[in-house]
């Protein structure tokens, strides 16, 4: 079974060879490690967690013209070729299809402790120092401004009218990152998310102070 995990790691590394910095192999490695940490506190099927974490981002729809079937199809083909049991394949594909944040209004069509674990691990990687780095990396990739003082950041920015494909990266904190701590599934996930949330609050405070030349 260890062998299957190793083969999966090699497959995912090859798939993500040209991925942008926020969605590269190291993102997967961090989510995998976070998943193992969270899984220690939960009664779960560890192989499903491992495969779900490793395969959850092999073809992000944002980079495939919005096509959300590419990743699950690839994962299905790969796991079948490895002779993985069909119920495990179905479970892993369900994790991949249901893990995404999607504005938080996305109704989960599937639920399991294994999905909860991998989802928490993926969300943790959007928080804290890494989360800040990934957000600005993504913003740079999309040629977004860092911040625009004319757009007053506030906690109602998760509403549809504030969402824009050209919004400065700071907006993303209000439309997603600061909302995540209240959406965690597991006890371990919640605890780590709280710490990372505090860190981001401190970052924003410092950011605005520096922007105004106060510090
Ligand atoms: P999910 O895996 O929950 O669907 P995404 O793929 O949307 O998450 O996001 C991946 C990373 O890119 C996260 O760190 C996220 O914060 C960041 N990101 C996504 N959208 C934006 C945005 N509009 N501005 C800045 N960062 C973003
Ligand atoms: Ni991810």
pLDDT value of residue 7: 98
Note the pTM of the prediction, 2 decimals.
0.90
The pLDDT tens digits for 126-136 are: 999 999 999 99
Report how far apart, in Å, the C-alpha atoms of 26 and of each of 23, 53, 181, 192 are: 8, 12, 22, 19
Same-fold call for 1-106 versus 126-215: no
d(CA 80, CA 78): 6
Which of the residues in the chain have pLDDT under 70?
A: 1-2, 60-64, 101-108, 152-165
- Can you give the residue ranges of every domain in the chain? 1-106, 126-215
> Residue 163: its pLDDT value, please?
59
Establish how many alpha carbons lie within 13 A of residue 49's alpha carbon, considering only the half-sphere containing its beta carbon.
26
Measure the CA–CA gap between 159 and 168, rounded to whole angstroms.
16
Q: What is the pLDDT of residue 103?
A: 42
Ligand 1 lining (C-beta closer than 6 Å): 22, 60, 100-101, 122, 126, 131, 134-135, 138-139, 169, 172, 176-177
How many angstroms separate the alpha carbon of residue 207 from the centre of ligand 1?
Answer: 20
Can you tell me the ipTM of this complex? 0.95
Q: In 3D, which of 94, 92, 124, 97 has the Cα closest to residue 200? A: 124
DSSP annotation of 107 reads P
CATH topology for the 1-106 domain: Cyclin A; domain 1 (1.10.472)
From 130, 176, 185, give the residue whose CB has the most ligand 1 atoms within 8 Å, as the site to mutate: 176
Q: Topology of domain 126-215, per CATH? A: Methane Monooxygenase Hydroxylase; Chain G, domain 1 (1.20.58)
What pLDDT, on a 0 to 100 scale, did the predictor assign at position 106?
A: 55
């Amino acid at each position: 079974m260890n062998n299957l995990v190793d083969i999966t790691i090699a497959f995912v590394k090859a798939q993500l060879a040209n991925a942008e910095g926020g969605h590269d192999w190291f993102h997967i490695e961090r989510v995998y490690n976070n998943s193992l940490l969270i899984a220690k506190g939960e009664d779960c099927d560890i192989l499903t967690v491992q495969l779900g974490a490793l395969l959850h981002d092999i073809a992000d729809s944002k980079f495939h013209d919005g096509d959300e079937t590419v990743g699950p199809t690839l994962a299905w083909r790969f796991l079948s070729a490895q002779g993985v049991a069909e119920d495990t394949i179905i479970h892993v594909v369900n994790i991949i299809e249901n893990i995404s944040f999607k504005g938080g209004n996305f109704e989960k069509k599937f639920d399991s402790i294994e999905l909860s674990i991998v989802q928490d691990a993926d969300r943790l990687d959007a928080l804290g120092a890494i989360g800040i780095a990934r957000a600005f990396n993504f913003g740079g990739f999309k040629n977004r401004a860092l911040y625009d003082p004319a757009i007053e950041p506030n906690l109602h920015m998760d509403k549809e009218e504030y969402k824009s494909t050209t919004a400065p990266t700071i907006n993303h904190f209000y439309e997603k990152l600061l909302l995540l701590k209240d959406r965690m599934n597991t006890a371990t996930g919640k605890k780590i998310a709280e710490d990372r949330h505090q860190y981001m609050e401190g970052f924003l405070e410092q950011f605005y102070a520096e922007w105004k030349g106060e510090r």
